[in-house]
Amino acid sequence: MAKAQLKELFFRDSSLRLPLVAGHGLKVTERTMRILITVLTGLFVAMLAAALLSQLWASRNQSLADESRLTLVDAERAAQNIMLAAAEPNVTGHLSLDQALLDKSVPIDAAAHDRFFILLDATGTIVAAVPHHANWNGKSVATVLGNDFVTHAMVNGSEMAPLVLASGEDAFMASRDLGKLPGSLLALQKKDDVLSIWRSGVAKLTGLFVVTLMVLLLLAGAFHWQAGKAFDADEMLSHATGRLDKALEGGECGMWDWNLMGDKIFWSMSMYEILGMKPKGDYLSFSEFSHRLHHDDARLDYLIDDLLRGKRKDFDQEFRMRHENGSFIWLRARAALAKGRASNDPHLVGIVFDISKQKQLDTLNQEAEMRLKDAVENISEAFVLWDTESRLVLCNTKYQQFHSLAQDVCEPGTPYSVVAAAAKEPVVQQFVSAERDSSSGARSMEVQFADGRWLQINERRTKDGGFVSVGTDITALKTQETYLLESERNLMVTVKDLQKERQFAEEQSQSLAELADKYASEKARAEAANRSKSEFLANMSHELRTPLNAIIGFSEIMSQQIFGPLGSSKYDEYANDIRKSGQFLLDVINDILDMSKIEAGKTDLELAPVQVGELIDEVLRLIGPRAAEGKIIIEKDLRKVPHFMADKRALKQVLINIMANAVKFTPEGGVVRLVVTHDKSIIRLQIIDTGIGIPPHDIEKIGRPFEQVENQFTKSKGGSGLGLAISKSLVALHGGKLIIASRQGKGTTVTVDLPIVADTASQAA
C-alpha cells in the first residue's frame, strides 16, 4: 500500500493534491456533510411517512365518504324503484314486498360493490335480501343488524350510520322508507368491504414508500460507507504525509518533482524546513530555485540538459543553496526522469539530502588529515603506518630518506613487501627487545645504515590490527654514548688520579693542621712575648723615668749653680748637656711608653667637648719658643669650628708631635701654617710647612714605629721615630685618619681628619 499511496501522494495532479494537503478541512466538511445528509434523509423519510399517513387517512375518509354516498344513491334508487313499482297501474291493492320486488329494484351493479339491500316489512322481519347468499329472509332485523340497529337507524338520513352487526362486524347503514308501502329498505355495507379497495391502495402506497425508504437507506448507507472509506483514506494519507514529512525532516532530506517543461517544482515541506523558508505551498518557481543556487553550481542546467537529451540516465549532484539566513547549505540531489501523470512531460523526481554537516565534517576531516600529515611530516622521527593487510597508509619524508625510497613506492596502498624490497638494507641490525610483546605487539630495535647513521625503530600494533613504526635518529645519541664511554674511561682514570690527589691533599691538610697548631702555639707565644715586651717596656720606662727625672733635676740644679759655683765653665757645659740628654731620653721613654700602651690596647680615650681654638693656643704656647728659636714663622687660619667630642690630652699630643716635626724639619725663615676647616661631619686640621719634605719612597713607611728618613735633620735634631706613629694611632682611636703629603724640598702637609661627634650633653645644656 505504502508505495502506491506515497506515489499517489506526491505525484498526483495538483487539483487532486490540494484537498489531500488540506486534509483537516476536508474532514470537517465531510463530517458536516455526512450529518447533514443523514438528517436530511431522516427528515425526508419522516415527511414522506407523514405525507403518506395523511394521504392514507384522507383517502380512507374519502373512500368511506364515496362508498357511503354511492350506497345512499343506490338505496335511494332501489327505494324509488320499489315505490315506482307500487305505483304502477296494474298493481292493485298492496304490493307484496318480496324477493322479486327487491331483486328488480336494486340497481344491477349495486350488489357487485358488496352492498346489502334488505327489505323489511312493518314488523321488522326481513322479507328479501340482496345478494341472495346472505340468506337473511325471514329473520328479524335485530338478529342480523344487532341491537344497535334501532338506535342508529335514521330513516332517510343523508349519511350512512355506523353500527355493529350481530356478527360483531362494523358496518354502515342507510334506511329508506317506501312511502305508502308498509316496510322499509335498508342499505348495508360492511366496513371491511368499504375499506377493502382503500386497503389495496394502502398496500400499494406502503409498498412504494418502503421501496423508496429502502432506496434512500441504501443511498445513505452507500454514501456513509463511501465517505467512511474516503475518511479512512484521508486519515491514512494524512498520517502517511505526516510520517513522510517527519521522516524527511528527521533524515534532513526533502523531495521534489520538477516538471522540466514547466516552471514549477513540487517542493516537500521538509525542503522549506531545510532552507529555513516559510512554506509557500507545494510548488516553487524555477526562478526562485535558481535564484537560491550558488553561482558556482549553475552547471546544474547542463546536467538537466544532458538528462533530457538522454546523455545521462540519473542525476546525482551536490550543490549549494542559499538558506533564508543568508548562509549557503550543501545539498545532494539524487533524481531520475519520470513521466508526469496528467501529461507526458518529463519530470525530474528525486530526493535532496542536507549534507552541510557532512561537508563540514569532510572539511574538518581534511583539515585534521592535513594537520596530521603536516605533524607527521614535521616530526624529527621517521614515521610509517601500515594497515591490517600490511599496506602503506602514511609515511613521512624522513622515512623515505632513511630507507632511500622512491616517491612512487611511498604511495598509500603499496604492500609492505614492495616497500621492504625497495628499502635500503641496514648494515647492522640490533634488536633491543627483539621479541614482540604479545599484548601490545610492540618491538624495538636499533639499526645502523651504511653511511653510519643509527636509527632506533619502535613498532607497535594499532587497535585496528595494523602497525605503526617510528624511527628516531639516534646517531647523535650513539656518538654521545661512545663519547660517554670514552669519558667514563677518562673519568675512571681521573677518579684514580683524584683519589691520589685526595690522599696527597689529606696528607697536606694533616701537615697543615700540624702547621696551624704550630702557628697557634707560635702566635700564643708571640702574643705572650709581645705582652711581656709591652710589660717590660712599661716597667722599664717606669724604672728609667725615676732616675732620669733625678738626673734632669740634679743637672738643672747644677747648671743653675744653686748650691754654689761649679768652678769650671766646662762643668757648666757638661751639666747642660746632661740635662738636655736626660730630657731627650725622657721624651723617648715617654714615647715608647705611649706607643707600647697603644699597641697593648690599654689606651682609653676620655672624650670631652673640645674647643679647637683653645687647644691650638695651648699647642702654640709650647711650640712657639722652638719656632722662634729656629726663626720660623707660624701662621694660623682658624674658621669658626664647633665643639666636638675628643680626648683633649691625646689630641694635644698629636698636634704637638706634628707641629714639632714641621718646626724641626723647616729651615730658618720658613713658614708653618695651621689651617682648621670643617664640614658637616669632619673637622680637618692641616699643618703645612715649607720644610725639607719627604722623599716619595719614604712616605709609605713614615708613621710606622721607629721609621725615620735618613737626613741631616734627623741626625742633627734627633728623634725617636715614634711621634707620627703615636699620632696616627691616637687619631685612628678617635675614628679619624692622618694623611701625609709631601714634596721633597718644597714642604710637607699633614692632614688630620676627625669625625664630629656631637656633644649632646653640652649642646643640650
Asked if 619 interacts with ligand ADP (CB under 6 A), we say no
Asked if 729 interacts with ligand ADP (CB under 6 A), we say no
Q: Select 350 or 736, whichever has its Cβ closest to ligand ADP.
A: 736
What's the min distance (Å) between Cβ of 765 and ligand ADP?
Answer: 38
Residues 6+ apart with CB under 8 A from 372: 394
Asked if 719 interacts with ligand ADP (CB under 6 A), we say yes
Q: Which residues pair with 645 in a beta bridge?
A: 609
Choosing from 82, 662, 731, 738, the residue that interacts with ligand ADP (CB under 6 A) is: 662
What's the min distance (Å) between Cβ of 637 and ligand ADP?
Answer: 18
DSSP element (H, E) containing 169? none
What's the min distance (Å) between Cβ of 689 and ligand ADP?
Answer: 5
Distance from the first to the final alpha carbon of the chain: 129
Q: Select 189 or 729, whichever has its Cβ closest to ligand ADP.
A: 729
Q: Select 459 or 689, whichever has its Cβ closest to ligand ADP.
A: 689
**Binding pattern for the stretch 732-761 against ligand ADP, x by CB under 6 A and - elsewhere:** ----------------x-------------
Q: What is the DSSP string of 624-640?
A: HHHHHHTT-EEEEEE--
655 touches 634 (CB < 8 A): no
d(CA 503, CA 231): 116
Asked if 183 interacts with ligand ADP (CB under 6 A), we say no
Asked if 724 interacts with ligand ADP (CB under 6 A), we say yes
Three-class SS string for 70-97? HHHHHHHHHHHHHHHHHHCCCCCCCCCC
Instruction: Please return the burial class of 466, using the count of CB atoms within 10 Å of its CB with bins 0-12, 13-18 and 19+.
Output: middle
Q: Select 350 or 693, whichever has its Cβ closest to ligand ADP.
A: 693
Question: Could you tell me which stretch among 382-390, 442-450, 576-584, 701-709 binds ligand ADP (CB under 6 A)?
Answer: 701-709
Asked if 688 interacts with ligand ADP (CB under 6 A), we say no
3-state secondary structure of 171: strand
With DSSP H G I counted as helix, E B as strand and the rest as coil, what are the percentages for the chain, rounded to 5? 55, 20, 25
d(CA 141, CA 211): 47
Asked if 634 interacts with ligand ADP (CB under 6 A), we say no
Taking the alpha carbons of 245, 251, 257, 260 in that order, is the dihedral positive or negative? positive
Q: Select 254 or 705, whichever has its Cβ closest to ligand ADP.
A: 705
Asked if 400 interacts with ligand ADP (CB under 6 A), we say no
Choosing from 623, 723, 730, 754, the residue that interacts with ligand ADP (CB under 6 A) is: 723
Asked if 709 interacts with ligand ADP (CB under 6 A), we say yes
Choosing from 394, 651, 702, 738, the residue that interacts with ligand ADP (CB under 6 A) is: 702
674 touches 636 (CB < 8 A): yes
Residues 6+ apart with CB under 8 A from 11: 257, 338, 341, 347, 349
Q: Select 234 or 591, whichever has its Cβ closest to ligand ADP.
A: 591
Asked if 730 interacts with ligand ADP (CB under 6 A), we say no
Number of residues that bind ligand ADP (CB under 6 A): 21
CA torsion 505-506-511-515 (nearest 10°) is 80
What's the min distance (Å) between Cβ of 726 and ligand ADP?
Answer: 8
Q: Select 268 or 661, whichever has its Cβ closest to ligand ADP.
A: 661
Question: Could you tell me which stretch among 230-238, 292-300, 507-515, 691-699 binds ligand ADP (CB under 6 A)?
Answer: 691-699
Asked if 665 interacts with ligand ADP (CB under 6 A), we say yes
Asked if 676 interacts with ligand ADP (CB under 6 A), we say no
Q: Select 86 or 656, whichever has its Cβ closest to ligand ADP.
A: 656
Question: Could you tell me which stretch among 146-154, 402-410, 606-614, 708-716 binds ligand ADP (CB under 6 A)?
Answer: 708-716
Q: Select 94 or 631, whichever has its Cβ closest to ligand ADP.
A: 631
- In the sheet where 382-386 sits, what is the strand order? 392-395, 382-386, 467-473, 454-461, 443-448, 428-433
Choosing from 206, 472, 583, 714, the residue that interacts with ligand ADP (CB under 6 A) is: 714
Asked if 694 interacts with ligand ADP (CB under 6 A), we say yes
Taking the alpha carbons of 4, 5, 7, 11 in that order, is the dihedral positive or negative? positive
d(CA 229, CA 221): 12
Cell of 113: 360493490
Q: Select 446 or 689, whichever has its Cβ closest to ligand ADP.
A: 689
Angle between helices 648-664 and 612-629 (to 10 degrees): 30
- DSSP E strands in 643-721: the ranges are 644-646, 671-678, 682-689
Asked if 596 interacts with ligand ADP (CB under 6 A), we say no
304 touches 313 (CB < 8 A): no
Choosing from 708, 734, 738, 752, the residue that interacts with ligand ADP (CB under 6 A) is: 708
Q: Select 194 or 738, whichever has its Cβ closest to ligand ADP.
A: 738
Cα-only R_g, the chain: 82
Question: Could you tell me which stretch among 10-18, 288-296, 596-604, 717-725 binds ligand ADP (CB under 6 A)?
Answer: 717-725
What's the min distance (Å) between Cβ of 691 and ligand ADP?
Answer: 4
Q: Select 676 or 702, whichever has its Cβ closest to ligand ADP.
A: 702
3-state secondary structure of 427: coil
Measured CA distances, 311 to 8, 240, 304, 346 (Å): 29, 36, 10, 15
Site residues, ligand ADP (CB under 6 A): 657, 661-662, 665, 689, 691-694, 702, 708-709, 714, 719-725, 748
